[in-house]
């Protein structure tokens, strides 16, 4: 594939690397639901997952390794990488060098420098490279974004975002490994989402302060992390990701000069995908939550006691990500999340690690040096 857009061509054939949680629950269903994309090949060495892929997506091919996938590079149009974090950079580089556009599950890389190098390679080859940041299309984040754009809160002073869970016992696996090569822990997992959302809303970071802790007995990687970002425009983002939160806080609390917005609960799309529901399924109104889950806007009242006014939550829209990828492939335009944006998120995560290790605030210019 040479990167030349052709609006009249057949659906773009997608090779998906990895069929664990990310590949089977998020990427494969969303790819299959997107006009202009066709799931062609799944890479997994696990026979059970191979059978699962064929059952869930009749007609899909399965191969045991990436060598078999890239041997057919001229028969594919897009590579999606949903394999363990340690493999992201190598697989993305191989795909780009084979002339194929690439989507990489977050985090794109372990470091901002690696992400920038991949971005340079993609630009040299004239190929799409995008990080999968589906949480930009969460229902609650879409609602916050609209409130901010509309000026409903006045000037935003502080943005609070939480991905908190109560999982007092480690589950194991590479995501909770203490080996730095695995790029595990919540800082790079859920932290990638909350930082990306903050930067998407309020722009570049100026300084970062973080507390990165390992709380659970037997845990190896961080499981209770706080990140404070001061943006160049003066907005402060306070971001929490935790597996040890016995009482969950609001998903979002956004405080402005005129009003505040508070929202509890999680976007319903992940749960729907895990249950086997699909965006085109008639059994559900995709991404829609009940009125009882709506957030509230007000000033001086407590939303927990009914203060403020309910704000209808916009529907969640994960399908919009791959629809935008297909559009970018057709037109040669920008992807929905760029590699440079992924690098900016990684720069904040790297600064957070330094801040936690050294117990100080880190300036982004210093972290990038």
What pairs with residue 268 in β-bridges? none
The predicted pLDDT at position 139 comes to 98
Tens of pLDDT along 57-112? 999 999 999 999 999 999 999 999 999 999 999 999 999 999 999 999 999 999 99
Q: Are residues 210 and 257 in the same domain?
A: yes
Please give the share of the chain, as a percent, with pLDDT higher than 90: 90
Residue 241's DSSP bridge partners are 163, 225
Q: Quick one: 47 and 140 in the same domain?
A: no
- For residue 49, give Cα distances in angstroms to 21, 46, 59, 62: 11, 5, 15, 9
Q: Is residue 95 part of a domain?
A: yes
Calculate the average pLDDT of the chain: 95
CATH, residue 28: 3.40.50.720
Asked if residue 305 has pLDDT above 80, the reply is no
User: In this model, does residue 21 exceed pLDDT 60?
Assistant: yes
Place of tokens 């085109």: 280
Contact call for residues 142 and 149 (beta carbons, < 8 A): no
Asked if residue 302 belongs to a domain, the reply is yes
pLDDT at position 314 over 90 = yes
- The tokens for 189 are 């997992």
Rounded distance, CA 274 to CA 299, Å?
37
Same domain, 171 and 111: no
Tally of structural domains, the chain:
2
Owning domain of residue 48? 12-133+321-335
Distance in angstroms (rounded) separating the CA atoms of residues 221 and 176: 5
Helix H, strand E, coil C: the string for 156-184 is EEEEEEEEECECCCCCCCHHHCCCHHHCC
% of the chain beyond a pLDDT of 70:
96
pLDDT band at 5 (very low <50, low <70, confident <90, very high): very low
Q: Residue 240 in 3-state DSSP?
A: strand
Query: DSSP 3-state assignment of 295?
Result: strand
Residue 3 has pLDDT above 60, yes or no: no
Asked whether the beta carbons of 161 and 239 are under 8 A apart, the reply is yes
For residues 43 and 122, membership in a common domain is answered with: yes
DSSP readout, 100-162?
A: --EEEESPS-SSHHHHHHHHHHHHHHT--EEEE-GGGG-HHHHHHHHHHHHTTTSSEEEEEEE
Residue 290 and residue 252 in one domain: yes
Question: What does the pLDDT read at residue 306?
Answer: 75
pLDDT of res. 252:
98
- Residue 160, token pair as written in the block: 């609070």
3-class state of residue 356 by DSSP: helix
170 with 54, same domain? Answer: no
Distance from C-alpha of 229 to C-alpha of 148, rounded to nearest angstrom: 18
295 in the same domain as 239: yes
The CA-based angle 193-346-124, given to 5 degrees, is 115
Phi, psi of 69 (to 5 degrees): -70, -50
Would 3 be classed as within a structural domain?
A: no
Q: What is the pLDDT of residue 10?
A: 83
Element (H, E) at 209: strand 205-213
Give residue 303's pLDDT.
75
Most confident of 171-175, 177-181, 248-252: 248-252
Q: Are residues 330 and 307 in the same domain?
A: no
Band of the pLDDT at 2, cuts 50, 70, 90? very low
Inform me whether the pLDDT recorded for 7 exceeds 70: no
> Is the domain of 169 the same as that of 129?
no
CATH code for position 298: 3.30.360.10
Q: In 3D, which of 158, 212, 166, 160 has the Cα closest to residue 189?
A: 212
pLDDT at 304: 75
Q: 312 lies in a domain?
A: yes
pLDDT digits (tens, 9 = 90+) for 229-244: 999 999 999 999 999 9
What pLDDT does residue 197 have? Answer: 98
Do 255 and 272 share a structural domain?
A: yes
- Give the pLDDT confidence score for residue 369 in this predicted structure: 63
């Amino acid at each position: 594939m040479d990167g030349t857009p052709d609006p009249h061509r057949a659906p773009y054939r997608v090779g998906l690397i990895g069929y664990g949680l990310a590949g089977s629950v998020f990427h494969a269903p969303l790819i299959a639901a997107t006009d202009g994309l066709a799931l062609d090949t799944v890479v997994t060495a696990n026979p059970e997952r191979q059978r699962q892929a064929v059952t869930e997506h009749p007609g899909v091919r399965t191969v045991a390794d990436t060598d078999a996938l890239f041997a057919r590079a001229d028969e594919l149009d897009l590579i999606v990488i949903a394999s363990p974090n340690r493999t992201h950079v190598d697989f993305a580089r191989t795909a780009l060098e084979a002339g194929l556009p690439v989507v990489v599950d977050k985090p794109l890389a372990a470091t901002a420098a690696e992400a920038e190098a991949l971005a340079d390679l993609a630009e040299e080859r004239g190929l799409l490279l995008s990080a999968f940041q589906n949480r930009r299309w969460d229902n609650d984040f879409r609602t916050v974004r609209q409130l901010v754009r509309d000026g409903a809160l006045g000037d935003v002073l502080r943005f609070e975002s939480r991905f908190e869970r109560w999982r007092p016992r480690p589950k194991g696996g590479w995501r909770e490994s203490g080996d730095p090569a695995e790029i595990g822990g919540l800082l790079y997992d859920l932290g990638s989402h909350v930082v990306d959302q903050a930067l998407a809303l309020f722009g570049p970071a100026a300084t970062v302060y973080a507390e990165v802790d390992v709380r659970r007995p037997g845990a190896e990687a961080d499981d209770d992390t706080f990140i404070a970002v001061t943006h160049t425009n003066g907005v402060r983002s306070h971001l929490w990701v935790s597996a040890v939160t016995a009482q969950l806080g609001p998903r979002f609390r956004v405080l402005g000069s005129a009003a505040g917005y508070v929202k509890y609960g999680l976007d319903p799309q992940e749960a729907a995908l895990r249950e086997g529901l699909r965006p085109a399924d008639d059994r559900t109104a995709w991404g829609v939550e009940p009125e009882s889950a709506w957030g509230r806007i007000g000033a001086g009242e407590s939303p927990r006691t009914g203060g403020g006014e309910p704000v209808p939550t916009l529907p969640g829209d994960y399908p919009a990500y791959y629809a935008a990828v297909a559009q970018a492939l057709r037109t040669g335009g920008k992807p929905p999340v760029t590699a440079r944006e992924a690098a900016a998120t990684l720069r904040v995560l790297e600064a957070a690690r330094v801040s936690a290790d050294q117990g100080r605030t880190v300036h982004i210019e210093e972290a990038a040096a």
